[in-house]
Chain A
Amino acid sequence: DVKVTQSSRYLVKRTGEKVFLECVQDMDHENMFWYRQDPGLGLRLIYFSYDVKMKEKGDIPEGYSVSREKKERFSLILESASTNQTSMYLCASSIQGALGNTIYFGEGSWLTVV
């Protein structure tokens, strides 16, 4: 089975802090994604990466950056956390190539910024 692991499930951070959300997948997938989930808005894509050191902006990249130094690891960085970034963050991965390839999700990271 595909496993996407988000190391931090619940975090509480202060406004202005730098926050790192880590994600690791064990299936040698080329594509990795970070989504944000908010009630009534569904999932919104923040950033995705289709290869090591490659990144593409999604729909809501402002206030976020990402890092992909190794194929299995994709990190989301909040340079200066703000209260409007309080949300559930979901990491996902998939094989590259066919559009019918399934995207697999991690368990999510609940971030509260106070």
Chain B
Amino acid sequence: AQSVAQPEDQVNVAEGNPLTVKCTYSVSGNPYLFWYVQYPNRGLQFLLKYITGDNLVKGSYGFEAEFNKSQTSFHLKKPSALVSDSALYFCAVRDIQNDMRFGAGTRLTVKP
């Protein structure tokens, strides 16, 4: 069965600095990888996904993610963090069984 790990519960960065939120996955077959963001008291919003092709995927709000097959990782990145990026971020993976599995989430705090 597929699984996702987000090794950091919390990530703190200063505004203007680059940010990385880590995700590793385990899946049989080809992975279909997703990132979602959740603002307080809201549902999950889709940010980006990797299906196939270019390992660098660009998404909403200036976010991008790098797929690394050898390291089974799909880290979320942004070159310059904003205070408004502070939120809970979820990585997810889908496999041939069509179930989507989510990580436990990483809380990103961007300080002014």
A joins B in a complex: yes
Residues of A within 8 A of B (CB): 4, 6, 33, 35, 40-43, 45, 58, 90, 92, 99-100, 102-108, 110
Question: Is B105 in contact with A105, judged by CB distance below 8 angstroms?
Answer: no
A99-B95, A102-B34 given as contacts; is B42 within 8 A of A108 (CB)?
A: yes
Question: Is B99 in contact with A102, judged by CB distance below 8 angstroms?
Answer: no
Question: Mind listing 28 A-B residue pairs with CB under 8 Å?
Answer: A4-B43, A6-B43, A33-B100, A40-B104, A41-B104, A42-B90, A43-B90, A43-B102, A45-B99, A45-B100, A58-B99, A90-B43, A92-B44, A99-B51, A99-B95, A100-B51, A100-B94, A102-B46, A102-B49, A103-B34, A103-B46, A103-B100, A105-B44, A107-B43, A108-B41, A108-B42, A108-B43, A110-B41
Within the complex, what minimum Cβ distance (angstroms) separates A100 from chain B? Answer: 4
Task: Write out the residue numbers on chain A whose beta carbons fall within 8 Å of the beta carbon of B70.
Answer: none
The total of chain B residues at the interface (CB under 8 A) is 24
